[in-house]
Amino acid sequence: MRGTRTPARHAVCVLRESSGTRYEGVVPVTGNIFDKALGRATLFRNKEHLRHSHQPMKLPHREREIEQLTFNLVEALNGQIPSNMILYGVTGAGKTAVTSFVCNQLVEKGQQIDRDVFAITVNCRQIDTQYRVLTHLGNSMLEAHEVDEIPFTGWPTDRVLGELVKRMEKRAGVYIIVLDEIDHLVRKAGDDLLYNLTNLNSSLKSARCCVIGISNDLKFTDFLDPRVRSRLGQQDVVFNPYDADQLRDILVQRSSSALHAEALEEGVIGLCAALAAQEHGDARCALDLLRVSAEKAEHEGTTSVAIRHVRTAQSQIEADQITPVVHSLPTQQKLVLSAILLTERTGARGVQTGEVYDVYDQACHHVGKAPLTARRVSMLISNLDMLGLITARTVSRGRYGRTKEIHSSLPPNVDAAAIIQDAEPDLEPIFSSKYRHQSRL
């Protein structure tokens, strides 16, 4: 009732701390909100050691590859030019880790025995044009007191190359130029960069250079001019995917410094290794799985990581990977995916192209979009299949021709309808409208 509030009740909301600070309507907090979180027992000795960026000092099951690189690059310490190399292998096979380990050791040895050996690594996924790679190489050769940077744009390629040669000559020595993820740059911008870099030695007198290209794509050399191919691929090293036993050893090695000894229950490492081996033997995947599992266990406040934490971590990682894919689909792809989900909502499994098209057509009308032809929609279905969001199997229906049998393959904890509506609120009516579904014969 109005006017019945007593002065005493009002006073409850006015607190005065000993310091004299006055807070209105706030319950007093003793200490800082982070105190509890900070004081919590942790399962990690050093979480960094499970991250991709950490450079381990031991790389189990890569002895042969390390040996091959070492055998070739030792030439640099003798003042000779090592052969150019191409390293191939699926992602997470340890190519970057092995190369940076060997290069660090090489440079360290060079300093010990007073030989000028330099290693420069460029990630060609991030630095993805010839001009930018050359500028990056040139500018990374500047000493701290030199400020003469090559501009990020504007010079003709010849001039940047000339400047690069000048700088290499000034410092002399042997340069190991590592082009990581080179397949990405070549696919985008062609092989001019490789042509120019593998030709540098003809312009160098006091300096020498060797190029190591690292590719995630085994067919990468198909994109190369035969001359570039033969100059770059003087030595090829293939990194095979790790199997479950090898991944287990890698995880044991990495977790020994990353986690407390008693933090892992029986079978946890084995499961992380087995799941990652099923993907394609990706050490990165295995490390992520172990790290996220330990984070889950820690969050729960348990004293060790159990199998169930690995299962939860796996579905979270899967959902985290799929969500942005669904979110960024073009609108028409979203409409087709929605039509598949809506058809499946009726309880149908193995829905056919015709049924999906029918619902897609209605969905387009509900949101005021012009529907594409059945042929285009069939192509969009194949795209969704390639992205791994659905599986579409072509089946023959005798004289009725061929059709696709479609199943969505989204993990249960991914709510694609919610993601689609979140990404494009205009599409909300798709999921709230009524549909006529074809009757199945």
Ligand X SMILES: Nc1ncnc2c1ncn2[C@@H]1O[C@H](COP(=O)(O)OP(=O)(O)O)[C@@H](O)[C@H]1O
Q: Which is nearer to ligand X, 50 or 207 (CB)?
A: 50
**What is the binding site for ligand X (CB under 6 A)?**
52, 56, 59-62, 89, 91-97, 250, 253-254, 283-284, 287
Residue whose C-beta lies closest to Mg ion: 96
CB of 89 to ligand X, least distance (A): 5
Residue whose C-beta lies closest to ligand X: 94
Q: Which is nearer to ligand X, 60 or 213 (CB)?
A: 60
Among 282, 252, 270, CA closest to 306: 270
105 φ, ψ to 5°? -65, -40
Residue 133 CA, distance from chain mean position: 21
Q: Which does 92 bind (CB under 5 to 8 A by kind): Mg ion, ligand X, none?
A: ligand X
CB of 62 to ligand X, least distance (A): 5
Query: At CA 439, angle to CA 434 and CA 441, rounded to 5?
Result: 165
CB of 205 to ligand X, least distance (A): 34
CB of 284 to ligand X, least distance (A): 4
State whether the Cα torsion 188-190-196-199 is positive or negative. positive
Q: Tell me which DSSP letter residue 369 carries.
A: -
23 φ, ψ to 5°? -115, 130
Q: Which does 61 bind (CB under 5 to 8 A by kind): ligand X, Mg ion, none?
A: ligand X
Q: Which is nearer to Mg ion, 96 or 332 (CB)?
A: 96
CB of 52 to Mg ion, least distance (A): 9
CB of 87 to ligand X, least distance (A): 8
**Sheet harboring 351-352: ordered strands across?**
351-352, 402-408, 390-396
Q: Which does 56 bind (CB under 5 to 8 A by kind): ligand X, Mg ion, none?
A: ligand X
DSSP string, 8-23: HHHHTTEEE-TT--EE
Q: Which is nearer to Mg ion, 282 or 355 (CB)?
A: 282
Q: Which does 52 bind (CB under 5 to 8 A by kind): Mg ion, ligand X, none?
A: ligand X
Which residues does residue 15 pair with via DSSP β-bridges, in sequence order? 23
Q: Tell me which DSSP letter residue 200 carries.
A: G
Query: How would you write 296-364 as a 3-class SS string?
Result: HHHHHCCCCECHHHHHHHHHHHHHHHHHHHHHCCCHHHHHHHHHHHHHHHCCCCCEEHHHHHHHHHHHH
Which residues does residue 392 pair with via DSSP β-bridges, in sequence order? 406
**What is the binding site for Mg ion (CB under 5 A)?**
96
CB of 63 to ligand X, least distance (A): 9
Q: Which does 159 bind (CB under 5 to 8 A by kind): ligand X, Mg ion, none?
A: none
Residue 38's contacts (CB-CB under 8 Å, 6 or more residues apart) are none
SS3 118: strand
Q: Which does 133 bind (CB under 5 to 8 A by kind): ligand X, Mg ion, none?
A: none
What are the tokens at 434? 């009524």
Q: Which is nearer to ligand X, 215 or 343 (CB)?
A: 215
Q: Which does 283 bind (CB under 5 to 8 A by kind): ligand X, Mg ion, none?
A: ligand X
SS3 151: coil
Q: Which does 59 bind (CB under 5 to 8 A by kind): Mg ion, ligand X, none?
A: ligand X
Q: Which is nearer to ligand X, 52 or 205 (CB)?
A: 52
CB of 301 to ligand X, least distance (A): 28
Q: Which is nearer to ligand X, 83 or 91 (CB)?
A: 91
Q: Which is nearer to ligand X, 96 or 332 (CB)?
A: 96
150 φ, ψ to 5°? -75, 130
Which residues does residue 118 pair with via DSSP β-bridges, in sequence order? 175
